[in-house]
Structure formats: C-alpha cells, structure tokens
C-alpha cells in the first residue's frame, strides 16, 4: 500500500471505465489526476468493450429493432465486461451510465459519487452510437448521469469530467495547502477575480486593496466581489448558496445598488 493510502487509512479506491475508445482516457495521465493516480490515491482501469465481443470482427453494435437511423450497443459485450470487472473487485460495483437521459450532475452529485468510492468500485459506462440496449440499463446500471443539455458524440468526455471533478475532492489530491472545500464554488458562489505580477499590465492596475497587506480588508473585498459576480452572472446560484450573516448583509447592499435605490 502506498504512503498516501496509509496516511489516510483507506482501502484502494477504484474506478473502472468501459468504452469502445479506451485510448481517449490517456488524458487522465496528466495534471492533478495523473499525480493522484501516481500517488496511489486511486486506481483507474479502462476496459475496451471490443475485447468482450463474440465475433472475429469484434462487433459491439447492431441495427435498432423497429428501424431508424444509427446503431445500438449490444447488451452482451457490455454485460461480459461488467461481470469481468466485478470478478476482480472486492467491493460491490456501482455502475454509472453517462447518457443524455441521465440526471444532470451538479457539485453535490459529484460529492455523493466520490463518497460511493469508499464502499463501492465505481464503473463508468460510456455509450457511443445511438446508445445502449435498454435491457442492459435495466439490469446492470445503478444510475444515469448527464453533463447537461448539449449533444456529445459519446460518453467518454463525460466520464473524464466526472472523474476529474471527483478526484480533486479526494484528500491529498490537490496537495497540502489547497482545499477543495475552500472553493467558493463549493459554497455555491462564483470566485473572486485573481491577479498576479506585474502590478501594472499595459496600464491596467491590480486593485489597490490587494497590495495593502490588510488581510481583513482583502478578505472582505474578495467576499464582496464573489457575491457581486454571482449576482451579476449567475443569480440562480444565490437561491441555494450557503451564506454567512456578513455575506447576507453585503448581498442585500449589492442588490440595492443594482436596483438603484
């Protein structure tokens, strides 16, 4: 067991991905994700559905019953892949099918899936073509997740989005001095604006308060900016945001300014 797992006293968290294009998941070797895997925080295994096909052409799709355009992924190769994964895992599987019919995933949903990793081995099932045979969904899929209302060409990028969002919530994934729970987004707000050197970029100066060294004033300014941006760009988020008494006061003030009394 790696140092990372000893430190947090957890069993190995495991994500299995089933896809017809497992090569796409090479992207997971980079950045925060690549490091989390290297440090042993979790194990990601990609499985090629075609390895579970039953003919020499490695066929995994067929024409839809009832006619119509496109092809449908057959239940059998997917079922064989899922059962093969279960045979190698000690925890029960939690099978998530990435699909446009799924519940749209939000940050609380990401947190729930991350917590599932303690008791289950997560399987992310990626569809291609028109989708997968409904009987496979009914028998082996635990939940269906969508990213939102736009059309992708398959579930692979969706699966990578879900993995990225979950992994950065694992203790140790972001390093020691950052915490995912510090993100203003995790409290339901947009972030305050960020600045780095130089102080003067082609005439545009860094806001004076950030150079003041007054940490309380800086915190107040950032909190105000986060609220102001959220009110301007994503007022829908404010309905469910968790705000402190002070933030509620600032927000009431900002609303007066916008309305103009």
CA angle 132, 84, 28 (to 5 degrees): 75
Among the candidate windows 50-58, 123-131, 220-228, 247-255, which touches ligand 9D3 by CB under 6 A? 123-131
Contact 63, 72 (CB under 8 A): yes
Give me the least distance between CB of 244 and ligand 9D3, in Å please: 34
Catalytic site residue from 54, 115, 130, 199: 130
* Interface pick for ligand 9D3 out of 22, 77, 127, 188 (rule CB under 6 A): 127
Contact 24, 158 (CB under 8 A): no
Q: Report the alpha-carbon distance of residue 101 to residue 125 in Å, rounded.
A: 14
Q: Which of residues 152-211 bind ligand 9D3 (CB under 6 A)?
A: 152-155, 158
Contact 88, 121 (CB under 8 A): no
Give me the least distance between CB of 84 and ligand 9D3, in Å please: 22
* Interface pick for ligand 9D3 out of 151, 204, 245, 259 (rule CB under 6 A): 151
Question: Which lies closer to ligand 9D3 via its Cβ, residue 60 or residue 98?
Answer: 98
208 is catalytic: no
Catalytic site residue from 50, 89, 100, 142: 100
Contact 25, 156 (CB under 8 A): yes
- Neighbour count for residue 2 (Cβ, 10 Å): 11
168 is catalytic: yes
130 is catalytic: yes
183 is catalytic: yes
Give me the least distance between CB of 130 and ligand 9D3, in Å please: 5
Does 24 bind ligand 9D3 (CB under 6 A)? Our answer is no
Among the candidate windows 19-27, 150-158, 185-193, 230-238, which touches ligand 9D3 by CB under 6 A? 150-158
DSSP character at residue 132: B
Place of tokens 């992207």: 27
Does 99 bind ligand 9D3 (CB under 6 A)? Our answer is yes
Helical axes 215-233 vs 245-259, angle rounded to 10°: 50
Question: Which lies closer to ligand 9D3 via its Cβ, residue 47 or residue 221?
Answer: 47
Report the number of secondary-structure helices (H) and strands (E) in the chain. Answer: 9, 9
Question: Phi and psi (nearest 5°) for 80?
Answer: -60, -40
Please list the active-site residues. Answer: 100, 130, 168, 183
Binding site for ligand 9D3 (CB under 6 A): 98-100, 127, 130-131, 146-148, 150-155, 158
């Amino acid at each position: 067991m790696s140092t990372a797992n000893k430190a947090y006293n957890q069993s190995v968290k495991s994500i299995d991905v089933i896809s017809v294009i497992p090569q796409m998941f090479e992207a997971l070797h980079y950045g925060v994700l690549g490091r989390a895997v290297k440090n042993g925080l979790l194990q990601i295994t990609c499985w090629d559905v075609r390895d579970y096909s039953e003919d020499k052409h490695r066929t995994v799709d067929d024409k839809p019953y009832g006619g119509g355009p496109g092809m449908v992924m057959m239940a059998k190769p997917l079922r064989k892949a899922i059962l093969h994964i279960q045979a190698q895992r000690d925890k029960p599987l939690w099978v998530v099918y990435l699909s446009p019919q799924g519940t749209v995933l939000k940050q609380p949903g990401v947190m729930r899936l991350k917590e599932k990793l303690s008791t289950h081995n997560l399987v992310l099932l990626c569809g291609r073509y028109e989708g997968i045979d409904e009987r496979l969904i009914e028998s082996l899929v635990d939940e269906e997740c969508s990213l939102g209302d736009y059309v992708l060409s398959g579930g692979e990028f969706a699966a990578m989005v879900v993995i990225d969002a979950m992994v950065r919530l694992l203790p140790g994934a972001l390093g020691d001095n950052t915490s995912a729970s510090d993100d203003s987004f995790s409290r339901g707000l947009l972030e305050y604006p960020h600045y780095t050197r130089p102080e003067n970029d082609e005439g545009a100066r860094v806001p004076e308060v950030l150079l003041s060294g007054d940490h309380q004033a800086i915190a107040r300014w950032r909190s105000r900016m986060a609220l102001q941006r959220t009110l301007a760009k994503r007022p829908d988020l404010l309905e469910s945001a968790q705000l402190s008494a002070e933030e509620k006061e600032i927000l009431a003030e900002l609303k007066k300014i916008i309305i103009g009394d």
